[in-house]
């Protein structure tokens, strides 16, 4: 196979992966929307006047969304103890981002560094014009030029694809579902204690069945919403890997970087469960032999590194 033919095959491979993951992302976001509506209907059915509760939850969710939209980058950088990447020691960092921004067609984001020996990186911001990339000092020390370029291309793809905004939408949806479910169950509990029962539900078998299903939905919906949120995060990681290849034109660079991350397994001290989804690889201490770690992969914030490496090697 000639070099142009090989390049065409590589382009087809990662374009197919990008399109597949975009479709899955839309399905997951649609699932979160449907689940939010179902929880609202369940609350309305069970507590009679639950529409007021749903409206209250919606107002709170709007406030949460406003804060998350305009302040998510500042919060993420502050929590991660990131500082501006100023000084000559970060020249390679800036030069690589400059070149990648030209290839990606996005404005140069603000660059930050986190003083931590664990190699890792994340992107944050609401859109390409208000974005930032942060890398750890461990990443800068561990990666060679092509590996660092692959990692930075991965983070730029998150910025170009508005992944941080999508994650914000998912976080707000999960928060609204949890809020409505909690309020609905609390109101239902106190109503039952004070004898505010619904005769229609108590005397009608169909009503009883619907009530039981509604209660089950309120109990299980937050769990399912969190699972969909993490699934969304995993899908975006696959997409960012695939699109990073479009920017660098060199899949082995990112694949080699991920292998180093896999071999290192170090924990970022400033990372939290709330920010874990942003990093290129999970920054928390999640060990394979930890109790319950293999029980349910739906709550992993990142896809397995071996799968991501295999996809890159196939491009």
Catalytic residue list? 155
* Number of neighbours of residue 63 by Cβ within 10 angstroms: 11
The first and second tokens of residue 272, run together, are 């939290």
Q: What is the helix (H) or strand (E) element at residue 272, kind and residue range?
A: none
Cα 136 to Cα 192: distance, rounded to the nearest angstrom: 53
- The end-to-end CA distance of the chain, in Å, is 15
Count how many residues are written for the chain: 315
Task: Provide the 8-state DSSP code for 279.
Answer: B
Torsion angle defined by CA atoms of residues 311, 273, 43 and 31, in that order, rounded to the nearest 10 degrees: -10
Cα 163 to Cα 127: distance, rounded to the nearest angstrom: 9
Residue 225's φ and ψ, nearest 5 degrees, are -65, -40
The first and second tokens of residue 115, run together, are 């003083």
Q: What is the 3-state secondary structure (H, E, C) of 121-162?
A: EEEEECCHHHEEEEEEHHHHHHCCHHHHHHHHHHHHHHHHCC
Cα 158 to Cα 104: distance, rounded to the nearest angstrom: 11
Cα 19 to Cα 31: distance, rounded to the nearest angstrom: 19
Cα 196 to Cα 187: distance, rounded to the nearest angstrom: 10
User: Contact at 8 Å (CB) between 215 and 284?
Assistant: no
């Amino acid at each position: 196979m000639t070099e142009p033919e090989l390049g065409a095959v590589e382009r087809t491979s990662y374009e197919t992966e990008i399109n597949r993951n975009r479709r899955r992302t839309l399905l997951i976001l649609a699932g979160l929307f449907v689940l939010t509506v179902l929880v609202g209907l369940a609350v309305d059915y069970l507590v009679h006047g639950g529409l007021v509760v749903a409206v209250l939850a919606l107002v709170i969710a709007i406030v949460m969304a406003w804060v998350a939209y305009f302040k998510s980058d500042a919060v993420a950088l502050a929590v991660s103890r990131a500082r501006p990447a100023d000084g000559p020691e970060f020249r390679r960092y800036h030069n690589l981002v400059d070149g990648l921004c030209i290839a990606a067609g996005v404005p140069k984001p603000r660059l930050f560094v986190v003083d931590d020996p664990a190699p890792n990186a994340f992107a944050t911001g609401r859109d390409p014009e208000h974005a930032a990339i942060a890398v750890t000092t461990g990443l800068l020390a561990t990666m060679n030029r092509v590996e660092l370029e692959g990692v930075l291309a991965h983070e730029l793809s998150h910025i170009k694809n508005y992944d941080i905004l999508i994650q914000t939408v998912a976080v707000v949806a999960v928060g609204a579902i949890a809020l409505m479910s909690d309020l609905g169950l609390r109101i239902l509990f106190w109503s039952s204690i004070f004898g505010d029962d619904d005769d229609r539900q108590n005397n009608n078998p169909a009503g009883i069945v619907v009530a039981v299903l509604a209660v089950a939905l309120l109990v299980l919906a937050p769990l399912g919403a969190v699972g969909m949120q993490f699934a969304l995060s995993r899908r975006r990681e696959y997409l960012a890997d695939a699109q990073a290849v479009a920017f660098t034109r060199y899949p082995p660079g990112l694949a080699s970087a991920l292998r180093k991350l896999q071999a290192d397994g170090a924990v970022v001290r400033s990372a939290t469960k709330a920010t874990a989804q942003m990093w290129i690889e999970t920054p928390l201490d999640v060990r394979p032999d930890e109790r319950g770690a293999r029980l349910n992969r739906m709550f992993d914030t990142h896809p397995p590194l071996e799968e991501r490496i295999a996809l890159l090697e196939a491009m």
